[in-house]
Amino acid sequence: MSGSSAVQPVLFFTYLYKSKDAAPSKINGSYVSKAVFGDGCIIMADKIENSVIGNRTRIDKGSTIVNSYVMGADFYQNTTEIVMNDRAGRPNMGIGKYCYIEKAILDKNCYIGDNVKIIGGKHIPDGDYGTYSVQDGIVVVKKGAVLAPGTHIG
């Protein structure tokens, strides 16, 4: 096109990656602001704000997640395991009912019981505390950790 001043159109292509193994996320009755969700999440939380929620994360009703990164799970629990855990009083994989999590990173496959409070900040000294560690006020719950119902960190 020499000598022509016509503007040539530029085509942009966007590729959306979708895992063929995971279903879309399901979010029920939650207030969500500035959050990103991976595939296959089941969310019934009250509020999720300024957070990243990884693949296959389960967050039960009444929970609040603020300024946090939840890495999700490598697999779904089967129904039998969920029922057995409920009968035995053990937490299921994901975040239980009425939890409050702020300024935290939850590694994959964590079992967070009901009514757990994790509130990161400068008020917590840095260190390794077994199932979690703290660095610069950010609580990091370790991979596969189990936090019993009613646990308070921070």
pLDDT per residue as tens digits for the range 94-148: 999 999 999 999 999 999 999 999 999 999 999 999 999 999 999 999 999 999 9
Q: Which amino acid is at 121?
A: G
Q: Which of 11-15, 17-21, 116-120 is predicted least confidently? A: 11-15
Residue whose tokens read 């960190």: 153
Q: Is the pLDDT of residue 22 over 90?
A: no
pLDDT, one tens digit per residue, over 44-83 is 999 999 999 999 999 999 999 999 999 999 999 999 999 9
151 φ, ψ (degrees, to nearest 5):
-65, 140
pLDDT, one tens digit per residue, over 81-107 is 999 998 998 999 999 999 999 999 999
- What number of helices (H) and strands (E) belong to the chain? 1, 17
Q: Structure tokens of 28? A: 């029920």
pLDDT for res 3: 56
pLDDT for res 16: 45
